[in-house]
Amino acid sequence: MKSPLHLVVAALLALPLSTMAGTAMAGNTTHSHGHEVHGTMELNQGQKWETDAALRQGMSELHQIVSTGLDGAHANTLKSDDYKKMSGEIMTQFTYIVENCDLEPEADTQLHILLGNIIQGVEVIEGKVSGEQPENGLVKMAEALNSYGLHFDHPNWGNFDVSH
| Domain ranges, ordered by start, for the chain | 49-155
pLDDT in tens, 110-119: 999 999 999 9
> pTM of the entire structure?
0.77
Element (H, E) at 51: none
Alpha-carbon gap, residue 118 to 94, rounded angstroms: 9
Domain 49-155 has CATH 3.40.120: no
pLDDT in tens, 69-93: 999 999 999 999 999 999 999 999 9
Between CA 112 and CA 153, with CA 28 as vertex, the angle to 5 degrees is 35
Radius of gyration of the chain (CA): 16
Residue type, 12: L
Helix axes 4-27, 105-125, angle to 10 degrees: 160
Is residue 80 within 8 A of residue 49, CB to CB? The reply is no
| Residue count (the chain) | 164
Given pLDDT bands bounded at 50, 70 and 90, which one contains residue 163? confident
